[in-house]
Chains A and B, each alone.
Chain A
């Protein structure tokens, strides 16, 4: 029987299946961040060890300051204690830890691929919903909750019900100026924030294959915003070239064996998916979100949608609510909407290509907003950007050039906007209050964020290329 990539990886990790569908799966690699304190507390209470410490990797990203690499600059004592507890827990249990001053530090979903921890065919989990990012390399990766983190620490396994398989195919030549971020926003706008609920999603099609590795990460990263359990893309030559030589990737004879295994991973011809969605890639344009759910997205060149045109009464009500919170009026051109702050960063869009795309727009221009902040996704991304002189472009334009971390993606480390402020953000969630109470978040690509920064309102990045 022809199998999907998801089924192949799933089958290779089954330890035991119960008649009721609950399956015990083996976890290859487990990523930990500050939120893991619940899990370690449980182990300590019961005096239990981490079953396979060599398969866990810990990094602080959510609470660390981005103004410096000094813990003294952490927002407060409670946040600081979470960072130091992660280090202490990792040390106690023999788990690799990339501390705030380590060259391997960065946002957990940026450093996984960067360090070669993320590999095709692996089952990877992390107590964070954007774990789907790692599927860009052909892994089955998904976010788990605190109890599941504990379960993985204690047993290196997880009980799961098998999700259904969905394929989202985006075909056609990619229009100029369209990035991975625009593609995933267009997908979510089409299928809704719950469109992939209960499914492991495979992104396929010529446009997806055309994306760079980093753009594929952006696409998979936001699978959860469509409700998907995991997102993945078939590994190909681009994937292998990306992985080769990374710290935790196989080498020598192991590399050859791995490659042979990886080549067999892609979904077989004729494999059946429980759901199929197709998008015309040629119709995608640079996008932004205009509401408080990632499904409320439109092309930057368009106008604010009118709830009167919503597909049904229920949606009309949601749109009205969202517009009320976000402070926009139906019919307004997005290009006339003033932006207060710009944030470039997060596990969605903080990699080197993201910074290059933003810098290309910013070069020789000046920021026209109250605050513009860029937080590279990892220490190594920052170092690379500095080697290329991107930091100077950002700084000369008026951006704050910060350290790596989750930063303004989430209101938990001191990087916040203020009530009523409108933020053009390259992150993944435009939920109410995500970037601070009463803050209005619009999700955009790095180039579009840069275009907003230099014009002071939303703008089509293609005008600045």
Chain B
């Protein structure tokens, strides 16, 4: 879907300390059947954020202010978003208000899904992520600055760290573009591929 262009953002960070936070934690499976709506944000980290009786679990970072209302950038630990391919994990983060997540590593499918929705996953070294999370614990509400064009993340300490971002994703992200439109412009190449490159034994089933 076409997105709001994402060029830069300065906002409060939220430190999430566990490794291997899978997409079942980001949004439990029982919520996947609902279409995206005004209330989808309530699904985010549902079973971590809320106790079985529905009350807020104060031990979970996102239940606490100022993280709860001001956090727009999540800083996580290694292998964030591993597990299920559910794109709703990205929707839930966005619908809550997050626009980016920083971690040492990500689940591959989550990483891809993020870009498709104008949501930015940023890989930074483990030590940098650890230090950022520490800063955010020490000064709740502290801000992180992301510059997509320059490909940098600047922590509360003012130190800038660069991150990798391929040109295509950057192009789509900064313009809010949908890659389906882009691909449809290549239709002639796809036609040619289908004509010349498909194995004959597949019996080209149209």
Interfacial residues, chain A to chain B (CB-CB below 8 A): 12, 15-16, 18-22, 24, 26, 28, 35, 37-38, 42, 51-55, 63, 78-79, 82, 121-122, 127-129, 143-148, 150-151, 154-157, 159, 161, 163, 193-194, 197-198, 224, 227, 229, 250, 254-255, 257-258, 261, 293, 314, 318, 321, 410-412, 419, 429, 431-434, 437-438
Contact = CB atoms under 8 A, between A and B. Distances in A.
B193 A18 contact: no
B198 to A, nearest CB: 8
6 contacts: A26-B194, A147-B117, A154-B180, A163-B108, A261-B199, A412-B29
B197 A12 contact: yes
A194 B20 contact: yes
Contact of A193 (B30, B52, B79, B183): B79
Given A314-B19, A432-B25, A147 B1 contact: yes
B201 A258 contact: yes
A159 B87 contact: no
Given A129-B109, A151-B179, A250-B202, 16 more contacts: A15-B186, A18-B168, A20-B167, A22-B168, A22-B169, A26-B190, A146-B86, A148-B116, A151-B183, A194-B20, A197-B79, A257-B199, A257-B201, A429-B84, A431-B24, A432-B47
B206 interface: yes
A129 B83 contact: yes
B18 interface: yes
Interface in B62-109: 78-79, 82-88, 90, 105-109
Interface residues of B, number: 59
Given A12-B197, A143-B85, A146-B113, A198 B186 contact: no
B87 A250 contact: no
B201 A254 contact: yes
A411 B28 contact: yes
B200 interface: yes
A434 B20 contact: no
A143 B202 CA distance: 22
A12 B193 CA distance: 10
B166 A22 contact: yes
B111 to A, nearest CB: 9
Nearest to A248: B205
B116 A145 contact: yes
Contact of B180 (A122, A143, A151, A229): A151
Contacts of B197: 12, 26
Nearest to B205: A54
B22 interface: yes
Contacts of B20: 193-194, 293, 318
A156 to B, nearest CB: 7
A53 B205 CA distance: 9
Given A78-B33, A194-B79, A431-B24, A145 B85 contact: yes
A250 B201 contact: yes
A258 to B, nearest CB: 4
B28 A147 contact: no
B180 A150 contact: yes
A456 B85 CA distance: 34
Nearest to A94: B206
Closest 9 CB pairs of A and B: A147-B116, A145-B113, A146-B87, A54-B205, A20-B167, A258-B201, A254-B201, A145-B87, A194-B79
Contacts of B189: 15-16, 24
B80 to A, nearest CB: 10
B8 interface: no
A257 B202 CA distance: 10
B186 A148 contact: no
Nearest to A194: B79
Nearest to A127: B85
Contacts of B28: 411, 433, 437
B6 to A, nearest CB: 16
A255 B85 CA distance: 34
B32 interface: yes
Contact of B166 (A38, A53, A161, A224): A161
Contacts of A419: 52
A28 B202 contact: yes
Contacts of B57: none
A121 B200 CA distance: 13
A155 B24 contact: no
A434 B19 contact: no
Contacts of A16: 186, 189
Contacts of B158: none
Nearest to A295: B20
Nearest to B169: A22
A154 B1 CA distance: 13
Given A24-B186, A157-B190, A147 B87 contact: yes
B139 interface: no
A144 B109 contact: yes
B183 A431 contact: no
